[in-house]
Amino acid sequence: AQSVSQHNHHVILSEAASLELGCNYSYGGTVNLFWYVQYPGQHLQLLLKYFSGDPLVKGIKGFEAEFIKSKFSFNLRKPSVQWSDTAEYFCAVSLTGGGNKLTFGTGTQLKVEL
Amino acid sequence: NAGVTQTPKFQVLKTGQSMTLQCAQDMNHNSMYWYRQDPGMGLRLIYYSASEGTTDKGEVPNGYNVSRLNKREFSLRLESAAPSQTSVYFCASSARLAGRYEQYFGPGTRLTVT
């Protein structure tokens, strides 16, 4: 079965620390990859997306992600987190030609401490 | 341009009661989706509508029905609510950009079934 794994369920960092959140997927076809963020009490917002081309993609608020096809991974990174980055982060995958149905990972709760 | 709107924001039901969650989008998107979000499980697709007049089951359709009323509106109905349906429900719509799709989410409906 197709699946998306986020191995870090809860992450606590101090401000200015570097962030890397893991995302692995198991799909056989060509994939589209997404990271969404959900701030407390708010709806999901798109952070960044990968469709094709340069495997290093940059998103909003200083986030970036790297697609490594051989590892079936799409990890999210930020060099220096801020308190305002406290949120839940979701990795999601859809298949090209798959009707844009998204499969989400279980999410990573990030808490940034002052 | 309001994007994706959902009503109500909060709802409490007793077991066995019915209700309809409403979703509308003003972005002229063809595809619309209903997800539920539960702690530790990410978002799971309940139903989707690839275009006006069509609906299909997602990962967790049992206990739900949907109606694609027109291109703008996609409603989710619980005929006989159960405590297992306590969740946060998100509606989304998607746009096609250069042959690929990107989903936009509504603010969510927090439903409690007692």
Q: pLDDT in tens for each of the 114 residues of chain B? A: 679 999 999 999 999 999 999 999 999 999 999 999 998 888 999 999 988 989 999 999 999 999 998 999 999 999 999 999 999 999 999 977 776 788 999 999 999 999
Residues of A in contact with B33 (CB under 8 A): 101-102
Distance from chain centroid for Cα A84:
17
Distance from CA of A17 to the nearest CA of B (A): 25
Q: Which residue has the tokens 């998103």?
A: A59
Residues of A in contact with B106 (CB under 8 A): 43
Residues of A in contact with B43 (CB under 8 A): 44, 90, 92, 102, 104
Measured between alpha carbons, how far is B96 from A37 in angstroms, rounded to an integer? 21
Q: Two tokens at B27?
A: 């972005």
Q: How many residues does chain B have?
A: 114
In this predicted model, what pLDDT tens digit does every residue of A51-92 receive, in sequence order?
Answer: 989 999 999 999 999 999 999 999 999 999 999 999 999 999
Report the residue of A4, A9, A39, A43 to disrupt the B interface, i.e. the one with the largest count of B CBs within 10 Å: A43
Q: Which residue has the tokens 């139903």?
A: B47
- Do B50 and A106 make contact, defined as CB atoms within 8 angstroms? no
**Secondary structure letter of residue A15 according to DSSP:** T
